[in-house]
Chains A and B, each alone.
Chain A
Amino acid sequence: MSVAQQSPSILVKNSGSLTRRFSWTRAREQVIRLVLFLCGALSLLTTAGIIAVLFNEAIYSFSGTAFFQTVSITDFLFDTVWAPQHPDKPRFGILPLLCGTFVIAGLGGIIGLPIGLASAIYLSEYAKPKMRRIVKPVLEILAGIPTVVYGYFALVFVTPYLLRPIFQTWLGISVDIFNAMSAGIVVGVMIIPTVCSLSEDALRAVPRGLREAGYALGSTKFDVSLKVVVPAALSGILASFLLAIARAIGETMAVTIAAGQQPRLTLNPFRGMETMTAYIVNISLGDTEAGSMEYKSLYAVALSLFVITLSMNVLAQWVLKRFREVYE
């Protein structure tokens, strides 16, 4: 088609057929390339969508008033009461929600991080291949169990059969039905697979030569594992910790079911608490009118959650890049 319109001299030049000219095959290639690029760009669009939606409802609205145009950001960050449903004087201090979130994520971290790291060390340094073949699938199954199941487990088993007998009956500390401890325990179990598999990858990437050198200097296996291999893989281990904590902070269903819905500024893990995620779920369960202050507070809380988890993820990637030990 285009060939016919070209002048004879160009035709002669192109007769080598290696120069670029129009053909339907080539056009199709370009169209396919464009379509595939759009598929890839959809992920960028998702991020843009999340940021735009949160920004529009929380920070500056183009079609109404956003959350932070009504509530000042200092009130939001430093007020100690979260009572959005109060009929006369609603108060929006996110501290109680932040407290619940971090107490539960902290408890989860105390339980999940050491256990995850220890099993990673075991799998990479001590375990025989047969053992790995058994343990790996079990960890995959643990990682694949829906979080609503963990929530049920915490509420129906951990609290009545583990926490109450130990702490209430023996030690005399009263344990609420909904409490942060049970939520923290199951969140800890939930992050074990993340920590374990990411840390194990980091440990296994440490070259054999370093271990051999350690043994040659008279180290025991314990010394080599803990003083050579773990420091060498530290960036990967730290990154796995950060990712796991970010996951614990963003965890929703288990926390909603097990920790209750009382926004409470306390460090006592045996009381009920409300996390940021649980607040979002509880509000959306009720009949909240779109456009009301309560509805907008949802976006403000989600924005805080997004900022926290995103910065932890970015930090994890930075740690990985900055402190990576590169071996030949």
Chain B
Amino acid sequence: MSVSGSLREPALAKRHRIGQLFEWACCGSTWFGMVVLSLLLLSIGWKAMAWPIPDADAVDRAAATKTDAKANALLSPRPLSTRFLTSYDSRVPQKAGIKAALWGSLWLLVFVTITTVPVGVGAAVYLEEYSNEGRWKRIIQVNLSNLAGVPSIVYGILGLTVFVRMFGLFGHDGKVLDFNLGFAMLSIPLPFERSVISGALTLSLLVLPTVIVAAQEALRAVPSSIRTASYALGATQWQTIRHQVLPAAMPGIMTGVILSLSRAMGETAPLIMIGALTYLAKCPGKIDSLSAVWQHPTGLLEAPFDVFTSLPIQIFNWVSRAQPEYDHLAAAGIMVLLVVLMMMNTAAILIRNRFQRRTQW
């Protein structure tokens, strides 16, 4: 650089040296994140790949007694296998799996999506398209940024009081509302107790602020010429939004929604609050495979009001047990959870990239 000529001046040389050191420090900090991430993934992957090697005595004893657990420990070389995905939690670490947790998480995902997307997008549309910088918009906007900062555990307490107990309005035993749908009975217990629907509603409240803000940004990115063109052709405001603005903003909205949902999938604390942490050897509504849906479709109606567990809850459950084998199970569970989240994030990024390149205003 041209600077080198003047470097003879000692004070300047010193300043450049300091500058260089500073740049290295900043660069190092930036790489710190990468190092931690790779350490985290490597160490958890390493834990997930193998059981602790049993000492020779244990092997001998197992061979002598042929007890189920010990024999299994020697048979399956690693916790992360297909058996892990298709079996329930167990008192014997070598037999434990995440089937109930996977189905529980799936149900949560479905219901959080159903409740969050319409409400979140609706609120964003109201804020961006209808309220023209009015007082309501300001109040709701400030409120949203405050809600986004509320710790998730506080949402858990809200869910516990409002959905699980319903303020104790229904007494000690609760009440059941029965609806005859013609082909099946839909029974809604009040309060919701420790059910999938309680968990899903709590998580929905938790992610709503992020969904709304993301959808708002997507709507803001749609140029106003599209709207004016639509009005000029005689469309009403709702017709304009429904047929022009929303389709144009859809990729952005979907990206935001998927990212928020992946956050909901990883949430643990609010679900513990509403009581999801249980040893569970069944899936919500007894639906444990696609064929089960055909055999007893009424399970679909029972599932939302059934008890549940979810992936992060299951992981936490294993982490808090003492035996070292459970550490390996937890690591395997984390690998599965991370893969699921990674898939959701990749989908979001793919949608973003694909439509960013295509749409040019």
Contact = CB atoms under 8 A, between A and B. Distances in A.
Interface of A: 25-26, 28-29, 32-33, 35-37, 39-44, 46-47, 49-50, 53-54, 57, 63, 114-116, 118-119, 121-123, 126-127, 131, 135, 137-142, 144-149, 151-153, 155-157, 189, 192-193, 196, 220-223, 225-226, 243, 246-247, 249-253, 256-257, 277, 280-281, 284-285, 290, 298-299, 302, 305-306, 309-310, 312-314, 317
B331 A152 contact: yes
Interface in B106-152: 118-120, 122-123, 125-127, 130-131, 136, 139-140, 142-147, 149-152
Contacts of A153: 40, 43-44
A43 B143 contact: yes
Contact of B266 (A145, A226, A249, A310): A145
Contact of A222 (B19, B37, B259): B19
B98 interface: no
A220 B15 contact: yes
A119 B312 contact: no
Interface of B: 15-16, 18-19, 22-23, 25-30, 32-34, 36-37, 39-40, 43-44, 47, 118-120, 122-123, 125-127, 130-131, 136, 139-140, 142-147, 149-158, 160-162, 165, 168, 205, 208-209, 212, 236-238, 259, 262-263, 265-269, 272-273, 275, 277, 312, 315-316, 319-320, 327, 330-331, 334, 337-338, 341-342, 345, 349
Nearest to A116: B29
B151 A139 contact: no
A49 B130 contact: no
Given A114-B29, A138-B34, A144-B266, 10 more contacts: A40-B140, A43-B212, A50-B150, A144-B263, A222-B15, A252-B153, A280-B153, A281-B153, A306-B151, A313-B149
Contact of B22 (A115, A226, A305, A314): A226
Contacts of B40: 145, 149, 153
A95 B201 CA distance: 33
A306 B337 contact: no
Given A44-B143, A145-B40, A305-B154, A39 B126 contact: yes
B19 A36 contact: no
Nearest to A310: B146
Contacts of A249: 151
